[in-house]
């Protein structure tokens, strides 16, 4: 089964890694110092229960030879104790990698193939952001990957969609 799954990944590229942590600024400074990543943007995700998750997006360093940024983005989030992020961090002590996102050209055929492999997803349908043609979905935490969630992402042309971030975060509510 896993050989078939890995064959599907060859058409994918790591898009971003997302951390859920106690202090997003402290983690961002460490990533900047250790890995050379740069701050890109910061935003809040407000949930219907009044809780908030605060997020930082970091971009990879510039390759000095070709003068372009090479690598994947890093998303870092923290939140108050009542938020989805805060509860996740508290259950794990200090937080850690929440998910790894793989960019794909067409998301639905891969979702269908993974379902045939008994991979379960946190939502029945892919989450769409029509403003950007952005489509995303989370797997349930995969024991074989240390409990890390895999995200499939079909990107549009504007980067990310804050409402999709909210919907993805809400899909993890209640996970242990």
Tell me the per-residue pLDDT of 33-67, one tens digit each, with 9 for 90 and over: 999 999 999 999 998 889 999 999 999 988 777 77
Is residue 142 in some structural domain? Answer: yes
Residue 62 pLDDT:
80
Mean pLDDT of the chain: 86
Above 80 in pLDDT, residue 76?
yes
Backbone dihedral region for residue 50 (phi beyond 0: left; psi -120 to 50: alpha; all else: beta): left
How confident is the model over 101-110, as a mean pLDDT? 92
Q: What is the pLDDT of residue 7?
A: 47
Q: Look up the pTM and report it.
A: 0.85
- Position 55 scores a pLDDT of 95
With 90 as the cut, is the pLDDT of residue 21 above it?
A: yes
What's 95's domain CATH number? 3.10.180.10
Structure confidence at residue 28 (pLDDT): 96
Structure tokens at 14: 């790591």
* Partners of residue 13 on adjacent β-strands: 103
Question: 27 vs 31, 76, 92, 117, CA distance in Å?
Answer: 6, 8, 16, 35
Q: Is 112 exposed, middle or buried (0-12, 13-18, 19+ CB in 10 A)?
A: exposed
Domain that holds residue 92: 2-171
Residue 60 to residue 31: CA distance in whole angstroms: 10
* pLDDT at residue 110 greater than cutoff 50: yes
Separation of alpha carbons 79 and 1, rounded Å: 37
pLDDT score of 71: 78
Burial class (CB in 10 A: 0-12, 13-18, 19+), 4: exposed
Distance (Å, rounded) from C-alpha 31 to C-alpha 33? Answer: 5
pLDDT at position 5 is 52
Residue 176 lies in a domain: no
Question: Are 89 and 76 spatial neighbours (Cβ–Cβ below 8 Å)?
Answer: no
Number of domains forming the structure of the chain? 1
**Looking at residue 37, what is its pLDDT?**
93
Specify the DSSP class assigned to residue 144: G
**Comparing 19 with 68, which gets the higher pLDDT?**
19
């Amino acid at each position: 089964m896993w050989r078939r799954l890995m064959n599907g990944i060859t058409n994918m590229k790591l898009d971003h890694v997302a951390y859920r942590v106690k202090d997003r600024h402290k983690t961002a400074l460490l990533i900047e110092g250790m890995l050379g990543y740069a701050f890109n943007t910061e935003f809040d995700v407000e949930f219907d229960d009044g809780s908030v998750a605060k997020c930082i997006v970091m971009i990879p360093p510039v390759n000095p030879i070709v003068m372009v940024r090479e690598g994947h983005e890093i998303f870092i989030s923290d939140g108050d104790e009542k938020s989805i992020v805060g509860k996740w961090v508290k259950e794990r002590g200090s937080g850690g990698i929440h998910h790894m996102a793989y960019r794909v050209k067409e998301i639905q055929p891969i979702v269908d193939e993974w379902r045939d492999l008994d991979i379960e997803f946190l939502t029945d349908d892919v989450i769409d952001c029509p403003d950007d043609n952005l489509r995303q979905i989370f797997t349930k935490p995969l024991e074989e990957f240390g409990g890390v969630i895999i995200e499939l992402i079909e990107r549009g042309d504007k980067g990310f969609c804050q409402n999709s971030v909210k919907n993805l975060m809400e899909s993890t509510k209640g996970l242990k």
